[in-house]
Chain A
Amino acid sequence: MRVPFLWLKDYVDIDLSAEELAAKLFSCGFEVEELIYLGAEMDRIVTARIVKLEKHPDADKLQICQMDCGRYGACQIVTGATNVFEGAVVPACLDKSTLPGGRKITAGKLRGVLSEGMLCSGEELKITDADIPGASVDGILILDPKTPLGVEMREILGLDEYVFDIGVTANRPDCQSVYGIAREVAAVLGKPLKEPALDFAEGETPIEKLVKVRVEAEDLCPRYLAGGVTDIRIAPSPAWMQKRLKLCGLRAINNIVDITNFVLLELGQPMHAFDERELTDRQIVVRRAKEGEHIVTLDGKDSQLNENMLVICDAKKPVALAGIMGGLESGIKPDTAAVVFESARFKRDSIRKTSKALGIRSDSSARYEKGVDSFSPEFGLKRALHLICELGCGKVAKGIEDRSALRPEVRTLKANKADIDALLGLEIPLKDTLRILNGLQIETSEKGGVLTCRIPPWREDLEDYPDIAEEMIRMYGYDHLHSTLLAKAQVAPGGRTQEQKNMDRLKEDLRYQGLHEIVSYAFISKEEIGKINLGGEEKFSRTVELLNPLSEDIAVMRTTMLCGLLEAASVNLSRKVEAGRLFETGRIFLPKESAEELPEEKERLGILLFGEGESFFTLKGILENLFADFGLTFECRAGGEAYFHPHKKAEIFCKGLVMGSFGELHPDVTDAFDLKKKLWYAEIDLEALNERAFPKFVYKNLPKFPAIERDLALVADEEVSCKAITDLIRKQGGGMLEEVTLFDLYQGDRIEKGKKSMAFRLSFRAEDRTLKVEEADQIIQGILAQLTKKLNVTLRA
């Protein structure tokens, strides 16, 4: 919100610089987002008189001016302009001056003659006749001959001004105006706040002759006031008013419209002026629109209305969208002779919804959306009527139409000073407490440790003692607050649960194994899910869908971690990062029957590998290490999602449960993501992992007797699995067989087609004695016999 410094000075005697005031405002909760100095771009451009004019000796089109620059002394300037004359007062750019837009002017020679600056035009100053007469002329700006000399042009143009652009928090709608900020300034500086002039002389015409008001929708319009003005002379408003409007970024229109805008800026009360002639039967009815009604607003837009929208009507039809914009017909025209001023409180969400639904916004609707209190309509109307008198633009009608279901009230709030001190952890002295609160126009007295506060009607945000505490501390200063460390709180152990520690361990484990953690969006596109859902499974395609997604790319919640990891792989590969080991932990979202129920959120781990050296078995190795880090081992079972290669995938079976799956991605998936590479993926259910992590175990005695090791080189049919062979060896090996490990695998030319060679190391040990070689050999004979019989596996010749 733009607040001009000079306007604040109308209400508070401020002896600080703009910067100092900005710092004060910041400290009490009003951040000055920008301190604008309007004259910043116009420096050392001063008013000067052309004392003498001569022809340039070497250039027909140039003239040499001897200038009187007032307190800047005399100088010589060469100009090419033709509209200059001796005695003219003009803006002169002195040596080292700056023009709007940043252009610098320095002294120099023009065709051999010294020119100590430049005479400038309105265009060069970026101004027009609207700013100062003569500025739109093609040539040098000729000023009023009575203009004093040696004055900076930014002062002449009213640009020697500071404007604060202030961020006002949503709880302080009362500060959405110059006067609202002035209240805070007065409080923070400890200075008196001046009242705005509200007095006006009433004429003879009674208000009833101009308008009768009826409010039918009191729930949406708790307060409606109407005042009248007759004998109006539409004219431009005075310069001081226009200047203030302009400083706030508004354009001056005419005296009546300017007054309504002025009151909005100054007091924060939106006003509307109706041409009295256009109000059928001189009636104003505030009601909900009827289905099928429509209105053409001042912006020329024709809007269809409905029963949720509040409208201001005359006896027949809507004449304004309440709080948003007036109708085209009832607006102020050059020949308007009498007006009805509206000053009301409308419910903020009603205005917001209508404004949003119709796509019509105005300064008024923006203000109403923030909330207007019950005090403000009368305050604003009286100020407007005063300005009518001050500007002499008409006669004020006798009386005010006041239809108010809700009148402003001064509430009394009692607060224990001790509660406030305990909440803040700081005892603000009573003297300061009373000074601060009374300074904020919260009349406060103290008796027996209880503060009795009379809350002014515009402070609807103050409801309870913490609100009073906040008023006190923000004015007293947060720098008085000395930190304590839970001084009076109970001791609590705190810390991570085992499950939370497990998740940190999981990430650390994967990091040690060379994986990089990624973070991707939890929402993805339906299209992406289609790309991975080769099996057309519901568990992927039934998603939680956003009603208002920013784009189709992020429109549904993920049902797998795969898409985010593939996106990451795609980004890296497109940037020539050819290898990667990536992982992500996060939630997938599985919808319930009804969208009104919260979906199931399941914690998952996704791992994606790509690049040279990676294979199904590097991924399996990572998973085995990871599980081992939680005291677990797993078995690979047939199964796994359709997004895997049909023959290079497995389900991870651990402690009686499938905890996830892994494998090489199906080429259809990698093609769909345009990756042209083999990728390996695993997805693990982290809740299942967490539940089974760290099974209880007891220490096993170290062996006392030596082991006997034997290597077996076996030949098996290709389709016989390693697991089938080891299982059979174990079963046949019995209690003496301590360990079986595959240590070599060969498939190729040196062996019969359809066969593979596998070398196992077997370790035998007895717990209670030294095992005899003969015993071990006997067991091996039994194993070999079974392998041959059951699996057609033989010793390699």
Chain B
Amino acid sequence: MKEKLKQIRENFQKALREGAEQLSQLRVKYFGKNGVFTELMKNLKNLPPEERPAFGKEVNQVKAELEGALSEAEQAELRRKREQELSEDRLDVTLPGVGRKTGSLHPLTLVKNQVLDAFLGLGFEIYDGPEVEYDYYSFEALNIPKDHPARDMQDTFYITDNVLLRPHTSPAQIRAMQKKGVPIRILCPGKVFRADDDATHSPMFHQIEGLAVEKDISLADLKGVLEVFATTVFDKSTKVRFRPSFFPFTEPSVEVDVSCSMCHGKGCRLCKGTGWIEILGAGMVHRNVLKNCGVDPDAYRGFAFGLGIERVTMIKYGIPDMRLLFENDVRFLKQFI
């Protein structure tokens, strides 16, 4: 019997090695219902009872060994088949994708959202004002009386003597304070209009007005908030610089420069060699403006700023001519996603 077992093993290994029979046939022949091993176990009863356990154990060992080898061979066969299938199933991956291309958001929308996002995290809300405004909100309430030379600072489009297209987003300061009261932190993005049309001016453009009124707020806070804006919209290393200026609705008033995003302060064409780019006007809200909104200027202080979205957009994306922003050439638009 032992001899027979040895013979079985050698035959099986030879068959497996030489691939003379299909693996599935081999499985049936050796491990099937009427296979070699079943037969062998049936013949067990012919042995003397005392030898049966030891021999049975041996048979099972050999069976496990051979069955393992067969399984391995079967696995290898499957892998080979899969490899072959894969190698015959090819495509040109450089063919274009299927489906419609996505569109684009206007660069002014992208920049507006970047600017808003920078401030919204600091507790600001968005407030909308009308684009056609009263003279009162656009000038009078902002401390620009009728005879003030500052009225000449912007050429305004008028509808009647008292109704006009807002020349800046500042009227929203007044409306927001009158409606919501103080303390307040708002941003007003929107269209503004001035009678000016050339390569650097458009009769319609976009501003974002910011206003914060609190019991205790300072020019140093304004600088901090604008630093958050500048580092968010340009890059992390952007610096902010204040220099004295004049706006009738703020006192002190500052012109705000940011370090040039192209040359990082070394001086280049974009910053005209100065290393700085003028980006917005700001200041502490004039006491007369607070009074005009029914806010006690001895109890509250505020800061305000106004920036031109076109200017930031042109600087950020290197757009040389403002008119490109309003032509709406699809080849221009689709660059912005």
Most chain A CB within 10 A, of B106, B121, B252, is at: B252
**Any chain A CB within 8 A of the CB of B65?**
no
CB distance A516 to B160 under 8 Å?
A: no
Interface stretch, picked from B26-34, B48-56, B75-83, B123-131, is: B123-131
**Any chain B CB within 8 A of the CB of A450?**
no
A48-75 vs B, Cβ < 8 Å mask (1 yes, 0 no): 0000000000000000000000000000
A279 to chain B, nearest CB (A): 31
CA distance A370 to B162 in the complex (A): 24
**Any chain A CB within 8 A of the CB of B266?**
no
**Any chain A CB within 8 A of the CB of B328?**
yes
Given contacts A170-B246, A494-B122, contact A485 B149 (CB under 8 A): no
Which residues of B143-171 are within 8 A (CB) of A?
Answer: 146-150, 153, 157-160, 162-163, 165
CA distance A426 to B224 in the complex (A): 13
Given contacts A484-B220, A494-B120, contact A513 B327 (CB under 8 A): no
CA distance A489 to B217 in the complex (A): 6
CA distance A519 to B309 in the complex (A): 13
A793 to chain B, nearest CB (A): 35
Residues of B within 8 A of A520 (CB): 326, 328
CA distance A515 to B241 in the complex (A): 39
CB distance A497 to B109 under 8 Å?
A: no
Which residues of B238-257 are within 8 A (CB) of A?
Answer: 240-246, 248, 251-254
Residues of B within 8 A of A485 (CB): 122, 221, 224-225, 228
- Number of A residues with CB within 8 Å of any CB on chain B: 91
Residues of A within 8 A of B100 (CB): 513-514
Given contacts A523-B204, A548-B157, contact A483 B103 (CB under 8 A): no
Partner of B162 from A544, A557, A596 at Cβ < 8 Å: A596
A500 to chain B, nearest CB (A): 5
Given contacts A348-B147, A484-B218, A486-B217, contact A470 B244 (CB under 8 A): yes
CB distance A554 to B130 under 8 Å?
A: no
Residues of A within 8 A of B326 (CB): 519-521
**Any chain A CB within 8 A of the CB of B216?**
yes
CA distance A729 to B25 in the complex (A): 60
CB distance B243 to A464 under 8 Å?
A: no
B226 to chain A, nearest CB (A): 8
Residues of B within 8 A of A514 (CB): 100-103
Residues of A within 8 A of B311 (CB): none
CA distance A467 to B327 in the complex (A): 44
A343 to chain B, nearest CB (A): 21
**Any chain B CB within 8 A of the CB of A469?**
yes
CB distance A577 to B253 under 8 Å?
A: no
**Any chain B CB within 8 A of the CB of A146?**
no
Interface stretch, picked from B8-16, B86-94, B329-337, is: B329-337
CB distance B251 to A467 under 8 Å?
A: yes
* CB nearest neighbor in B for A513: B103
**Any chain A CB within 8 A of the CB of B104?**
yes
**Any chain A CB within 8 A of the CB of B105?**
yes
CB distance A512 to B224 under 8 Å?
A: no
CA distance A520 to B205 in the complex (A): 10
Partner of A488 from B109, B163, B185, B216 at Cβ < 8 Å: B216
CB distance A492 to B183 under 8 Å?
A: yes
Given contacts A422-B218, A521-B204, contact A494 B242 (CB under 8 A): no
Residues of A within 8 A of B106 (CB): 516-519
Given contacts A483-B223, A518-B333, contact A493 B123 (CB under 8 A): yes
**Any chain A CB within 8 A of the CB of B209?**
no
CB distance B212 to A489 under 8 Å?
A: yes
Partner of B218 from A425, A478, A546, A550 at Cβ < 8 Å: A425
CB distance A549 to B157 under 8 Å?
A: yes
CA distance A46 to B125 in the complex (A): 68
A464-497 vs B, Cβ < 8 Å mask (1 yes, 0 no): 1011011001100011011111111111111111
The 3 tightest CB contacts between A and B, nearest first, are A425-B220, A425-B218, A29-B244
29 residue pairs bridging A and B, Cβ less than 8 Å apart? A29-B244, A170-B246, A172-B246, A349-B147, A352-B149, A422-B218, A425-B220, A469-B252, A478-B241, A479-B241, A483-B223, A486-B224, A487-B224, A489-B214, A489-B221, A496-B116, A514-B103, A515-B103, A516-B104, A517-B104, A521-B204, A521-B326, A522-B193, A547-B158, A547-B159, A547-B160, A557-B132, A567-B328, A571-B328
- Given A466-B252, A486-B212, output 8 extra A-B contacts at Cβ < 8 Å: A488-B217, A523-B193, A546-B159, A548-B158, A550-B203, A572-B328, A598-B134, A599-B132
